[in-house]
Amino acid sequence: MKYNSPYEIGLGDVVIHEGRTHLVLINYIKGETDAKGYTPKTNRTILIDDSDRKTVVNDYRTLEVVG
């Protein structure tokens, strides 16, 4: 199942990106300020895999929900 909106992405979600399983580490939504005062200009999701490698995804539509 694909995400319909960046608002649906939750921290800790297990997702598939480019055929590999990742966990959602951070999900930035365009124009929303986080607790530290950062306001992103674009949607951006940061993923982490089993090898602790981080991947930045700018298009949430490429992510598929596992489960």
Q: pTM (2 decimals)?
A: 0.90
27 within some domain = yes
49 within some domain = yes
1 within some domain = no
Distance from chain centroid for Cα 48: 9
The CATH number that applies at residue 37 is 2.30.30
Range of the domain at 50: 6-65
What are the residues whose beta carbons fall under 8 Å from the beta carbon of 25, sequence distance 6 or more?
11, 46, 47, 48, 54
CB neighbour class for 60 (10 Å; exposed up to 12, middle 13-18, buried from 19) = buried
Q: Per-residue pLDDT tens, the chain, 67 aa: give them.
A: 999 999 999 999 999 999 999 999 999 999 999 999 999 999 999 999 999 999 999 999 999 999 7
User: Based on the structure, what is the number of domains in the chain?
Assistant: 1
39 within some domain = yes
